[in-house]
Amino acid sequence: MGVREDVSSALTRDPAARSRVEVALTYPGLHAVWFHRVSSRLWRAGFRLPARMLSQFARFLTGVEIHPGARIGRRLFIDHGMGVVIGETAEVGDDVLMYHGVTLGGTSLRHEKRHPTIGDRVVLGAGATILGPVTIGDDCLVGAGAVVLQDAPAHSLLVGVPAVVRARRIDAGSIAGG
């Protein structure tokens, strides 16, 4: 997992990206992921307060809140970023594309798994909310504004409030189809 891989992922997924330098310097979603990597290491090493302080500083700078306890896979790309919240027990797979306003939130006050698990190559549309210890399978597409409260198998399309799970048609021209 590295900076170059993250920048390449952003260049591949954002048609507005012009250069590696532009992406590295101006993409707050990438900056949030980079801060998270450091705060997560602190968290797992038992330095909980410094980890939380760093994550809150990153939130202040980027508008993206990722709890240091969350597990984030490789090449997560948070496009636009503002308003994204990823809770403590959330798990995010590899090659996930997340738009602004996404919430991976909890529904329990107990010390247990209370946030979502997101599979690989999932696209989370703007304002999507996934609540509780649900699992979203690989290659799913969660529509903008959807509120997901139940598990979804791989290759699903989730739309609506509450979200309805539908079979997903893969289109080579779509953002998640290739």
Which one-letter amino acid corresponds to residue 78?
I
Q: If DSSP codes are grouped into helix, strand and coil, which group holds residue 17?
A: coil
The residue extents of the domains of the chain are 3-167
Q: What is the pLDDT of residue 176?
A: 45
In this structure, the dihedral spanned by the alpha carbons of residues 62, 63, 66 and 67, taken in order and rounded to 10 degrees, is 110
Q: What is the pLDDT of residue 171?
A: 62
Using only C-alpha atoms, what is the Rg of the chain?
A: 15
- pLDDT tens track of the chain, all 178 residues? 588 999 999 999 999 999 999 999 999 999 999 999 999 999 999 999 999 999 999 999 999 999 999 999 999 999 998 999 999 999 999 999 999 999 999 998 888 999 999 999 999 999 999 999 999 999 999 999 999 999 999 999 999 998 888 887 766 455 543 3
The CATH code for residues 3-167 is 2.160.10.10
Q: How far is CA 22 from CA 10, 27, 109, 157, in A?
A: 11, 8, 41, 32
